[in-house]
Amino acid sequence: MAPFDQAFSAGFDRLAAWSDLLDTINVFPVADGDTGRNLVVSLAPLKEFRMASDTDRLTDQLLRAARGNSGNIATQFFSEFIKTPVTPIAKALRQGTRAAHQAVRTPQDGTMLTVFDTLAAALADCTLTYDITDVPALLDGLQATVQSSRDILPRLRSAGVVDAGALGMYLFFEGFFYALIDRVEDCRPPAHLFPDSLQISHTFREQDNQGYCVDTVLRAQPDMDAVIQNLTTKAESVVAITRGDIVKLHFHTTDRETMRRTLEATGTLVSWSEDDLAHQVQTFQQRPRQTRVHIATDGAASLTRADQQRYGFTLLDSYITTDSGSQPESRVDAQDLYQRMRAGERVTTSQASVFERHQHYLRLLETYPETLYLCVGSAFTGNYETAAEWQTRHDPRSRLQILDTGAASGRLAVMVLAAARLAGRGADMDTVKALALQSLTACREYIFIDRLKYLAAGGRLSRPSALMGDLLRVKPVISPLPTGAEKIGSVKNRPDQLRFALRQLASDLAEALTPLILLEYSDNHEWVAGEVADRLHQAFPAAEIILQPLSLTTGAHTGPGTWAVAVHPDPAGRLARPSAGLAQASSENPPVYMERNTG
């Protein structure tokens, strides 16, 4: 019997690996495509669960991480369920189910709440902490509950899909319970379980949704119950969680300003975040169509979830760990991370578990006809070896093609963008792979580090060397190559960095007609988007210049003040295409993707 910490980790890993699927079927309560994202962000603290851990601290982490309708409900359940190692599982399930129901002002059957109900009922007579005797039968019951959601909720019936939140909980519990009995290899692909319920009907249309999805935390006054009750009459999808004098609220509203003033009048606003529902729904409706060749890559590339939505590729996350816990790289607030680093907080990175990575590969095989996985260089991680070993055992038809790019950060990003664009035009595997192979030798990247002390904090440089370098104002220039990150020069200040970049790019692009230049920033967006972008435009007027946040796998080691530039001299693979600047619009390069400081 595996310990509970392994079970919680396996449950989260399975959920994380299939979270993109949850986003594609998310139509309840609103078709905004964020259930997978919200569940992963909200439940990430469970990945660090330990049997001897402080459950009060973990409960607090869950409360602070909770995001969205599904995430806030799920964290209420798991705040009680994490007590399982010291509490009989039947009791922990009853308490978790009750807490989840109490948090929702207008609970609905056919959602994750019904999955919790089914699980609690199935194990109601389980008196021992570890007494789970028939996991397959238990999971069959949960599967039937998820399948029934399609018939219970009219929106799901119209869309022809099961509830995304309910499916997310099924995936978690399948990983969790199979891990308890050391049989995680028995986890089944969702398409085998729900074969006709994982693709939205072409006849389904989402109505226009105006307003905002709000998550806020208050330090409340004594009359907060009345405020929450009043909120229920003025907002939708209300979830309210009270712990001591802290109140966590989630709701949808068309009048966020009035709601904010009302809440500020009743307590101290600790945090407030909002998503534009109209924008989310529009983005969800404009998902790229499936192509002949799907592109996958690692989170170590300087690419975002917005890029994934726009171009239709897959990002396989690594993890960033701070004092607040661990989160998938692409879900981390970059500016918060750099502020923490400037304040002296230690930040570390780690790879996803082997089980999570295996689940990602399985999802790619189950979802796409062919996938080209442009893997971060094997000098940086073991991802290539892990994928190649799995592919040998599970993919006899080689539908998952794996390429060790020898790259990371922006260099990997320009390779991926070039391949994804070509795949989006309908190219076959041979054509896309040929461009990717050409990219291996054609692409370059220059990373400009501001302070050496962050490299020392991560163990990549001795502290005395870092101190001496910072005193002498040495700013190294490094490049991610197949052999690893190599120092290729050093400069004294920002003007020297910019001159170095211009000189190198002039050499790299001497024969390029329509190159792609990727500018990457850390916490220095204004300078990079302004002076640096303007100088590059003047020097390379035919280039397409894209502004992107630096990969946090890189930023967590190089620190605040870092910036970088990556280049692909021939992103179209010698195919004719119009020259593109920062503001050029086309179906291939949407204007929202590009930024330029014109002031």
Residue 493 belongs to some domain of the structure: yes
Q: Specify the number of domains making up the chain.
A: 4
Q: For residue 182, what are its two tokens?
A: 């050391």
Residue 368 and residue 484 in one domain: no
The string of DSSP letters for 360-385 reads HHHHHHHH-S-EEEEEPPTTT-SHHH
* 470 & 500 share domain: yes
406: in domain: yes
Shared domain for 355 and 379, answered yes or no, is yes
By residue count, the chain amounts to 599
Helix (H) or strand (E) holding 423: helix 409-424
pLDDT tier at 599 (50, 70, 90 boundaries)? very low
189 and 229 in one domain? Answer: no
Angle at the Cα of 62 from the Cα atoms of 59 and 63, rounded to 5 degrees = 90
Q: Among 221, 242, 276, where does a domain finish?
A: 276
Structure confidence by residue, pLDDT tens digits, 343-392: 999 999 999 999 999 999 999 999 999 999 999 999 999 999 999 999 99
Q: How far is CA 592 from CA 280, 312, 538, 550, 582, in A?
A: 14, 16, 22, 18, 10
| Structural domain contains residue 202 | no
Q: What percent of the chain has pLDDT over 90?
A: 69
Does a structural domain hold residue 146?
yes
Answer whether residue 203 is part of any domain: no
CATH number, domain of 81, equals 1.25.40.340
Structure token digits, residue 353: 């578990």
Is residue 199 included in any domain, yes or no? no
What average pLDDT does range 272-277 have in this prediction? 90
Average pLDDT over the chain, rounded to an integer: 88
**What residues pair up with 241 in beta bridges, in sequence order?**
248
Mark whether 83 and 151 lie in a shared domain: yes
In a shared domain, residues 378 and 304: yes
Residue 113 lies in a domain: yes
Alpha-carbon distance values, 359 to 9, 12, 352, 386, 514 (Å): 13, 11, 11, 12, 38
Sheet order of strands, 294-298 included: 314-316, 294-298, 371-375, 400-404
Q: Within a domain: residue 207?
A: no
Residue 253 buriedness (CB in 10 A; 0-12 / 13-18 / 19+): buried
pLDDT confidence bin for 588, thresholds 50/70/90: very low
pLDDT in tens, 84-110: 777 788 999 999 999 999 999 889 999
In this structure, the answer to whether residues 362 and 298 fall within a common structural domain is yes
Of 92, 56, 108, 148, give the one whose Cα is nearest residue 239: 108
3-class SS at 276?
Answer: strand
pLDDT tens-digit readout, 438-482: 999 999 999 999 988 887 555 444 344 434 444 346 789 999 999
Same domain, 188 and 40: yes
Q: State which of 441, 462, 497 marks the end of a domain.
A: 441
pLDDT tens digits along 293-339: 999 999 999 999 999 999 999 999 999 999 988 999 999 999 999 99
Same domain, 57 and 145: yes
Instruction: Output the six-digit token pair for 230.
Output: 């009043």
Which residues are bridge partners to 247 per DSSP? 218, 242
**Rounded Cα distance, 119 and 140, in Å:** 11
Q: What CATH number has the domain bearing residue 547?
A: 3.30.1180.10
Confidence class of residue 245 from pLDDT cuts 50, 70 and 90? confident
Distance (Å, whole) CA 166 – CA 194: 12
Residues 143-169 pLDDT 10s: 999 999 999 999 999 999 999 999 999
The residue range of the domain holding 173 is 4-193
Check whether residue 155 and residue 9 sit in a common domain: yes
CATH number of the domain that residue 343 is part of: 3.40.50.10170
Domain stops at, among 161, 193, 225: 193
What pLDDT, on a 0 to 100 scale, did the predictor assign at position 598? 29
| 93, 238: one domain | no
Residue 274 sits at the vertex; the CA angle it makes with 37 and 27, to the nearest 5 degrees, is 45
The pLDDT assigned to 283 comes to 80
**Is there a single domain that holds both residue 161 and residue 103?**
yes
Q: Identify the CATH number of the domain in which residue 219 sits.
A: 3.30.70
